[in-house]
Amino acid sequence: MTETLRTRTRLVCDIVVQTARLMVGVPDYDNYVAHRQLNHPQKPIMTHKEFFRERQEARYAIGKGRFRGCC
């Protein structure tokens, strides 16, 4: 297998994994970190645990006294 084919295969696999995670509601921490570093370098970056908790609270409105769920 050539190096170019390996690189392309890896890229496709990464995109498929990212898409699957987003489809089931698992946030992408690596993209969050890259975005913050590129667009907001002066602002702090949440830890993975903080990021996951914040995404769950935003999705389910847990901290607002109600449980919205997905439906």
pLDDT at 13 over 70: yes
- d(C-alpha 61, C-alpha 47), whole Å: 20
Task: Please list the alpha-helical segments (H only) found in the chain.
Answer: 3-23, 29-39, 48-60
Report the predicted TM-score, pTM, of the whole model to 2 decimal places: 0.60
The range of the structural domain enclosing residue 53 comes to 3-64
Q: What pLDDT, on a 0 to 100 scale, did the predictor assign at position 1?
A: 66
- Listed in sequence order, the residues at least 6 apart from 68 whose beta carbon sits closer than 8 Å to its beta carbon are 60, 61
pLDDT, tens only, 18-66: 888 888 777 788 889 999 999 999 999 999 999 988 888 877 776 566 6
Cα(60)–Cα(51) distance, integer angstroms: 14
Q: Is residue 70 part of a domain?
A: no
43: in domain: yes
Nearest Cα to Cα of residue 25 among 58, 66, 50: 58
Q: Domain total for the chain?
A: 1
Three-class SS state of 16: helix
